[in-house]
Structure 1
Amino acid sequence: MDQRAFARTLRQTMTDAEQMLWRHLRAHRFDGRKFRRQQPIGPYVVDFVHFGARLIIEADGSQHCDSSQDATRDAWLKQQGFRVLRFWNHDILQSPESVREAIWNALQEAPLSPDPSPARGEGRQAESDSSPKIGSGK
């Protein structure tokens, strides 16, 4: 399964903690900031990311206890310029205000870079529409 298909599957099977956090992050609800969920970045799929602030948020369950894989993954993401915040699912569910405050503080500390999303009409579809077609004379 490729990364995009895997990310799509993860979006459809989010944990309760991920769903709760997504309700606060989605649709520019968090101070007008755009977050993406279950986003492929290199060889990994991250739970939530704000590309402009280079901030990744991970919701961790018990499978992440003492995980050397998480350390390797975090090191790679940091090399790419991202800051990684990890929260236990229990903390997200039991202390959502504290989690939101930590995310807010991280966003305030992060220098904003331009959103890498293409402007409307300038994405992949627009590129394919304007590319020459075989036999079209263009």
Structure 2
Amino acid sequence: MPHQPVTRAKRSFARSLRREMTEAENKLWQELRDRRLDRIKFRRQVPIGKYIADFVCLEARLIVEIDGNQHADSDSDRIRSAELKGNGFRVLRFWNDDVLKDLDGVCGTIIAYVRDTSLQPWR
């Protein structure tokens, strides 16, 4: 994947997203930060191409997105996922409710996808 420079505006927007995370994003970040989840390195609100990914494990080329119900059957999410996949990433999506009600299940799924790069996301 050719490196695409990140504009100052995009970097600033990513920074603001880090300050204003949703409840579900914040809850998951508490598990992912500082290699707390199975010693896996994650970054949050990372500019990738023309998008900003919620969480990224660069080593596994895995993006984790946390979606509210406004994302249900979203064409723009499908396009976004396809473009990120075209850049060599797998995009794993969870609903806010998944994170808030079954954090252990979400974390277990993330670990499985990081450890087995042949797994492909279901949505």
Structure 2 matches for 1:54-69, cutoff 5 A?
Answer: 54-69=61-76
The 4+ residue runs of structure 1 with deviation greater than 3 A are none
Of 81, 85, 108, which aligns to 2:88? Answer: 81
Give TM-score scaled by structure 1 length: 0.78
1:40-61: CA deviations, max 9, x gaps? 0000000000001000000000
Of 33, 36, 43, which aligns to 1:29? Answer: 36
Residue equivalent to 2:23: 16
SS in 1 for 2:17: helix
Structure 1 residue 28: Cα displacement: 1.0
Structure 2 matches for 1:33-48, cutoff 5 A?
Answer: 33-48=40-55
Residue equivalent to 1:114: none
Residue equivalent to 2:3: none
Of 92, 116, 121, which aligns to 1:109? Answer: 116
Amino acid at match of 2:90: R
- Whole-Å separation in 1 of the counterparts to 2:35 and 2:102: 22
- Whole-Å separation in 2 of the counterparts to 1:107 and 1:55: 7
Residue equivalent to 1:122: none
SS in 2 for 1:86: strand
- Whole-Å separation in 1 of the counterparts to 2:97 and 2:58: 26
Amino acid at match of 1:95: D
Of 101, 111, 119, which aligns to 1:94? Answer: 101
Aligned-residue RMSD, C-alpha: 1.2
Gaps of 5+ in 1: 112-138
1:77-113: CA deviations, max 9, x gaps? 00111000000001100011110111011011128xx
Give TM-score scaled by structure 2 length: 0.87
